[in-house]
A and B are shown apart, each in its own frame.
Chain A
Amino acid sequence: MIRIQDGDFNIGEEIAALRVDPAGKLRNDIGAIVTFTGTVRDTLPEGAGEIFTLTLEHYPGMTEKELTRIEEEAHARWPLQASLIVHRVGTLLPGDNIVLVITASAHREAAFEAARFLMDYLKTSAPFWKREKGPDGEHWVEAKETDDQAAARWRQE
């Protein structure tokens, strides 16, 4: 399941929702739940000022399509009982939640690996763009080569 939203998410509530079946009964086929949360870090140097915001632009339509695609790939590659990706858009402040990935499986190996895979793929293929604003003005965050390298290690020959 995937969601794009501007409002905040509650990690505990999302985990709780993932653990129950549609009737609200606790599932008995989940033995491992892994959660990753990405948050806003203030990247301004010390003393540069307190005014800092991070704005996330995205491509409506393609963001949903890409997140669904990578989630489907995770389910194809690992035995997952459930998964969730929530990504926020709009203007955020230091310390705010940005992205949530939850994976649930019978055993921990699949849950850990799938969560890592989802984040590595999300970072390199989901159409979001970050703009940082500080006392000196705004600039677009640049993509990192380490993210491409992280995604490449999951490539199957």
Chain B
Amino acid sequence: MTRLLYFAWVKEKTGIASEDVELPESVGTVADVIAWLKTRGPEFENAFAQSETIRAAVDQTHARADASVAGAKEIAFFPPVTGG
């Protein structure tokens, strides 16, 4: 099981803050996860419609679209950060 987390407007669009999922075998990278998420319903399709504007973190480390998610315990999706 992998925990998926959503933050800021990504969370507002998906409607959930986090969930535990079983990622399909074919999902190998962050980009694969996003493609899979978009098939799960209209809220997800809407949330990830402009996926180039969404950032990801695998096990709490920033990850690019081509990053592997093999063995990941936690994957988060969020807009570019605006702290400070």
* A residues adjacent to B (C-beta < 8 A): 38, 56-59, 61-62, 65-66, 87, 98-99, 119, 122-131, 140-143
Q: Is the CB of A125 within 8 A of B81?
A: yes
Given the known inter-chain contacts A59-B7, A127-B7, please indicate yes or no for A143 contacting B82, CB distance below 8 A. yes
- Say yes or no: is B8 at the interface (Cβ < 8 Å to chain A): yes
Complex CA distance for A129 and B5, rounded to whole angstroms? 14
Contacts of B71 in A (CB 8 A): none
Interface size on B, residues (CB 8 A): 16
What number of A-B contacts does a CB cutoff of 8 Å give?
A: 69
Q: Is the CB of B84 within 8 A of A128?
A: yes
- Say yes or no: is B62 at the interface (Cβ < 8 Å to chain A): yes
* B residues adjacent to A (C-beta < 8 A): 5, 7-9, 57, 60-62, 76, 78-84
Contacts of A141 in B (CB 8 A): 82
Q: How far is the CB of A103 from chain B (nearest CB, A)?
A: 15
Q: How far is the CB of B41 from chain A (nearest CB, A)?
A: 22
Q: Is the CB of A126 within 8 A of B84?
A: yes
A-B contact pairs, 10 of them (CB 8 A): A59-B5, A66-B60, A87-B84, A123-B82, A123-B83, A126-B81, A129-B78, A129-B79, A140-B8, A141-B82
